[in-house]
Amino acid sequence: MDTALQAFDLTKKLEGANTGSWLSCNGDILVSVSPIDGRTIGRIRTATANDYEKVAKQAVKAFKVWRMIPAPQRGDIVRQIGDALRHNKQNLGRLVSLNVGKILSEGEGEVQEMIDIADFAVGQSRMLYGLSMHSERPRHRMYEQWHPLGPVGVITAFNFPVAVWSWNAMIALIAGNTVIWKPSHKAALCALAVTKIASEVLDRNNLPQGILNLVIGNRKQVGNPLVNDSRVPLISATGSVNMGKAINQAVAARLGKTILELGGNNAIIVTPHADLTLAIRSIVFGAVGTAGQRCTTTRRIIAHKAIYADLQQALIKAYQQVPIGNPLEDGILMGPLIDTEAVDNMMAALAEIGSQGGKILYGGEKLSGGIFETGTYVQPCICEVPPDCAIVREETFAPILYLIPYEELDEAIAIHNGVPQGLSSAIFSNNLKEVETFLSHLGSDCGIANVNVGTSGAEIGGAFGGEKDTGGGREAGSDSWKAYMRRQTNTINWSDEMPLAQGVRFEFD
Ligand code: UN1
């Protein structure tokens, strides 16, 4: 048995719901299989709608207590969760690798992202600032304050199975909310381990049950009850555009709030003024890292004709050197895709490319033999495509990189923005005018726009999210905390008069 499974006691029969203690669940058994070697790594009894109901009730009850604990004290609990994550960084990072197939360094990097957002949230717990205003009426004071919302639903995807929960949960906690987490069933073991780590901290501090909650179950039993639950004022969801649209409609129907972080179709523009060595390093990490399964993965390179051929050659050379294999082994840079369905989707996209006027320049083969017999390993792929190719508008969650040539920067920006998604973007250039154009209102339409920095691997200090089909939500740093609270405007009259605003007169005896 792997040490990471032992560390979190995941080898025994597991329950799919926790509300401070583990529920005895009533749903189907979920068999967790590692994409690395196809081995069964866990068995979980999933939650039913009844189990969800127990969790939701507890989350509502705990909110009444948690919201009244002063924010800096809530921050201290988050600090302790951050410390517990530091302590568990190696084991949890390894579990991420085992569960979803990331290389170890990326698995540990994800845990680091959790630690970073915990630190950020501790500071933020003393900075839940509201503005004060000058009233138009004499001896009146106006100000605004931020109150907690209630239980927050957090729906996460397989590809960042622990970090995305923490961006939401750490901020939601300091804001005074309780959290109901519905993780992807593809990454359920990671969610169980994180819940174990965090609930030990809550227990140690004698806090009531129901502050951090977990429900693993399918859409019918858990997903739908959660998004339709009017006791849950905010749903923060990461995943596909289709999933996000369905959630948005359900939550909007009850006038709830959402934070949506959906698909990306991220591009890098490489101009004739780029440092190509830097550009290539960033492109390969952005396109091949996490086997192309980040929402921030670099999917399109829009390269100027003057450097196009050189860039293409250098990329092919770099791709030839990417070691593919068991992500737990030293030196491997690319592990498997999450499952064979993801491989099938990649193969279907590659088949389309030919019929749409594109051609494969490198890779794209499904690998076989030895560990590759799982059917989850592929070669990363570089394709050349015309800018109007339909398949390029889609986010295929796999390591496919499209190369598109351009002549004028305006044209490059039009190609760049000509997709439905708007998450992350970058330009590689040392030319001030090109860079400023890209960052101006004329430029990138994405939530993230970088210069000489790739599209993936954002730091937690910034607000994370994007526009258009990406859903418009913002998580993690900057002032994203405001989405987890409700704003209240207060006017206080300390005079002996009762003047009305706007000079309205309403006198009576
Ligand atoms: C995601 O893929 O859903 O910027 C999140 C990045 C990471 C987060 C990705 N910090 O690539």
Q: Which domains does the chain have, with CATH numbers?
A: 3-262+471-488 (3.40.605.10), 266-461 (3.40.309.10)
How many whole angstroms separate alpha carbon 294 and alpha carbon 286?
A: 9
Ligand 1 atom index nearest CA of 295: 2
CA of 313 to the centre of ligand 1 (A): 28
| Residues in contact with ligand 1 (CB, 6 Å cut-off) | 113, 159-160, 164, 238, 294-296, 456-458
Alpha-helical segments (H) within 23-103: 49-66, 71-87, 89-100
pLDDT at residue number 165: 98
Looking from the CA of residue 264, the nearest atom of ligand 1 is: 2
Question: If you measure from the C-alpha of residue 224 to the centroid of ligand 1, how many angstroms do you get, rounded to a whole number?
Answer: 26
Nearest 10 degrees: CA dihedral of 409, 415, 418, 421? -90
- Which tens digit of pLDDT belongs to each residue from 291-348? 999 999 999 999 999 999 999 999 999 999 999 999 999 999 999 999 999 999 999 9
Mean pLDDT for 482-502 is 98
What residues are paired with 426 via a beta bridge? Answer: 268, 450
- The whole-angstrom separation of Cα 398 and Cα 15 is 31
Counts for the chain of helices (H) and strands (E), in that order: 14, 23
Catalytic, 381? Answer no
- pLDDT of amino acid 489: 98
Contacts of residue 200, defined as CB under 8 A and 6 or more positions apart, other chains included, come to 84
Q: Which of 15, 106, 110, 295 is catalytic?
A: 295
* CA gap 124, 339 in Å, rounded: 38
pLDDT tens-digit readout, 210-245: 999 999 999 999 999 999 999 999 999 999 999 999
Ligand 1 atom with the shortest distance to the CA of 261 = 3
Looking at every residue in the chain, the average pLDDT score rounds to 97
CA of 97 to the centre of ligand 1 (A): 16
User: Phi and psi for 59 in degrees, rounded to 5?
Assistant: -65, -35
Q: Which residues of 470-500 are buried (b: 16+ CB within 10 A; e: fewer)?
A: bbbbbbbbeebbbbbbeeeeeeeeeeeeeee
What is the atom index within ligand 1 of the atom nearest the CA of 297? 11
Judge whether 418 and 265 are in contact, CB under 8 Å: no
* Catalytic pick among 261, 395, 434, 475: 261
CA atoms within 13 A on the CB side of 259: 28
pLDDT band at 1 (very low <50, low <70, confident <90, very high): confident
In this structure, the residue with its CA closest to atom 3 of ligand 1 is: 295
Q: Position of tokens 């092919």? A: 316
pLDDT tier at 284 (50, 70, 90 boundaries)?
very high
Confidence check: pLDDT of 372 > 90: yes
Nearest CA owner, ligand 1 atom 6: 457
Catalytic site residue 261? yes
**How many angstroms is it from 292 CA to the middle of ligand 1?**
11
On the question of pLDDT at 58 being above 90, the answer is yes
The per-residue pLDDT for 509 is: 86
In this predicted structure, what is the pLDDT of residue 87? 98
Angstrom distance (rounded) from CA 106 to CA 195 = 20
Q: What is the pLDDT of residues 237-280, one digit of tens each?
A: 999 999 999 999 999 999 999 999 999 999 999 999 999 999 99
Q: What is the pTM of this model?
A: 0.98
Give the integer Cα–Cα distance in Å for 180 and 377. 34
Per residue in 450-476, pLDDT (tens digit) is 999 999 999 999 999 999 999 999 999
Alpha carbon of 237 to those of 168, 180, 421: distances in Å?
10, 12, 16
Q: How confident is the model at residue 388 (pLDDT cuts 50, 70, 90)?
A: confident
- pLDDT score recorded for residue 145: 98
